[in-house]
């Protein structure tokens, strides 16, 4: 069973506040101006992601809200890899964070490594084209080395590199001997025709862009050490998520191991209907100071969502016939809760009768489960036809 995700403590919020006041300077915001920035940046994230490269200004929103909000999301895929022995075994990890930005993914990694005692320290090569964002990450990394975060995360030794993740030198990628990360980055890559961000917009699912993304994913993964993993997070929006699902199918055809989130190697069944997409939800509520900001900005403050993919520089492993991923629900209706399972034979709607009790919180969207028998058919009843438990 995956460990429950813990909310951020006050030490995290104190450290972020300290760094924001010191590093952001005149760009720092609180109160109503901060809420306004959060609302405007959220609109860009959800509706105009192609214009994100033009939105360097709202730094306070990124540091004070989106950084701590997104920080725990990496725990989903990393907890799975940890439970299955697919993370580095050394006590000091070498990691490459592509598009590290303000540090949500690196800091989430260091936090989980501390909580699960996975490592004693991490050396992170952090690549981003925004030097000011890397300054914030560097300041927060210092807080893990004897500062406010010393009890919250393993020490982070940071090597910041200003540059484009799309054309990263393989000699830099190989530094991620055990792990590479890319948090909410891929949806911004190759989005324009031409050599720069001012080129003509390219549709997210443009065939040429998909080809470029597939080559990029393969190149990064193959540059890592044998058995190392490349873990991606993406926004839980229909278009970038379906792009991720399409690339997952292509990578499997390219003989790479894709252990998460899918429990099988068959074609993604959710791609057959244009209205479907696959994402996960964290059973997590934001700490109250962040929840208040989210409410004022009209954003969610619990059940945080994301899409993910983990690719390994290794031959494909055989599928587990009784394993499945929850890709829909829980949906409560009269007398039951519906869970939609994705497995190597397709999709199954599992009806969990509420007279038997509610499903445990661990059975959330995106969770991997194991059934007492191989799921078959498009509908089943829990306890009678099929019984599932967290993997």
* Half-sphere exposure in the Cβ direction for 170 (13 Å, CA): 9
Distance CA 86, CA 65 (A): 31
Helices (runs of H) and strands (runs of E) counted in the chain: 11, 14
Task: Extract the tokens encoding 264.
Answer: 């099988």
Q: Is the pLDDT of residue 55 over 50?
A: no
Q: What is the mean pLDDT of residues 33-60?
A: 77
Of all residues in the chain, what percent carry a pLDDT higher than 90?
A: 80
Distance CA 24, CA 351 (A): 50
- Domains annotated for the chain, with CATH where assigned, are 10-312 (3.40.50.150), 323-390 (no CATH)
pLDDT in tens, 262-303: 999 999 999 999 999 999 998 888 999 999 999 999 999 888
pLDDT in tens, 357-373: 889 988 999 999 999 99
Integer Rg of the chain from CA: 20
pLDDT in tens, 292-331: 999 999 999 888 899 999 999 999 988 888 999 999 999 9
Distance CA 74, CA 90 (A): 20
* pLDDT band per the 50, 70, 90 thresholds, residue 1: very low
Q: In sequence order, what are the beta bridge partners of 318?
A: none
Q: In sequence order, what are the beta bridge partners of 209?
A: none
pLDDT value of residue 390: 92
Of all residues in the chain, what percent carry a pLDDT higher than 70?
A: 93
pLDDT value of residue 48: 58
Q: Is the pLDDT of residue 176 over 70?
A: no
What is the chain's mean pLDDT, rounded?
91
pLDDT value of residue 356: 83
pLDDT value of residue 318: 86
Distance CA 263, CA 82 (A): 16
34-60 as b/e, with b when 16 or more CB fall inside 10 Å? bbebbbebbeebeeebbebeebeebbb
Q: What is the mean pLDDT of residues 132-153?
A: 97
pLDDT in tens, 240-269: 999 999 999 999 999 999 999 999 999 999
Instruction: Give 348-377 as a DSSP string.
Output: EEEEEEGGG-PPPTTS-TT-EEEESS---S
């Amino acid at each position: 069973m995956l460990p429950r995700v813990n909310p951020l403590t006050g030490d995290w919020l104190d450290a972020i506040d300290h760094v924001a006041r010191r590093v952001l300077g005149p760009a720092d915001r609180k109160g109503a101006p901060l809420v306004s920035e959060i609302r405007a940046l959220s609109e860009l994230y959800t509706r105009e992601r192609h214009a994100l490269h033009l939105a360097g200004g709202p730094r306070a929103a990124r540091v004070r809200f989106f950084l701590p909000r997104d920080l725990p999301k990496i725990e989903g895929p990393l907890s799975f890899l940890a439970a299955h022995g697919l993370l580095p075994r050394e006590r000091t990890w070498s990691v490459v964070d592509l598009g590290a930005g303000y540090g949500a993914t690196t800091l989430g990694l260091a936090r989980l490594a501390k909580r699960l005692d996975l490592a004693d320290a991490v050396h992170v090569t952090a690549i981003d084209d925004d030097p000011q964002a890397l300054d914030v990450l560097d300041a927060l990394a210092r807080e893990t080395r004897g500062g406010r975060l010393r009890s919250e995360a393993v020490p982070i030794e940071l090597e910041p590199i200003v540059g484009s993740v799309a054309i990263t030198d393989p000699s830099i990628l190989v530094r991620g001997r055990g792990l590479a990360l890319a948090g909410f980055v891929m949806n911004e890559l190759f989005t324009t025709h031409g050599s720069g961000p001012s080129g003509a917009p390219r549709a997210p699912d443009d065939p040429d862009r998909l080809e470029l993304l597939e080559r990029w994913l393969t190149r990064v993964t193959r540059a890592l050490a044998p058995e190392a993993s490349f873990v991606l997070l993406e926004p839980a929006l229909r278009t970038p998520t379906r792009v991720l699902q399409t690339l997952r199918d292509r990578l499997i055809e390219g003989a790479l191991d894709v252990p998460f989130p899918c429990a099988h190697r068959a074609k993604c069944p959710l791609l057959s209907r244009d209205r479907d997409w696959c994402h996960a939800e964290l059973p997590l509520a934001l700490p109250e100071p962040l929840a208040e900001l989210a409410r004022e900005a009209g954003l969610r403050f619990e059940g945080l969502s994301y899409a993910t993919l983990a690719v390994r520089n290794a031959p494909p492993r055989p599928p587990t016939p009784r394993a499945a991923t929850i890709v829909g629900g829980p949906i409560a209706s009269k007398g039951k809760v519906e869970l939609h399972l994705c497995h190597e034979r397709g999709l199954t709607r599992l009806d969990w009768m509420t007279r038997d009790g509610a499903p445990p919180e661990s059975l959330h969207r995106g969770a991997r489960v194991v059934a007492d028998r191989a799921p078959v058919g498009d509908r089943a009843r829990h306890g009678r036809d099929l019984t599932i438990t967290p993997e």
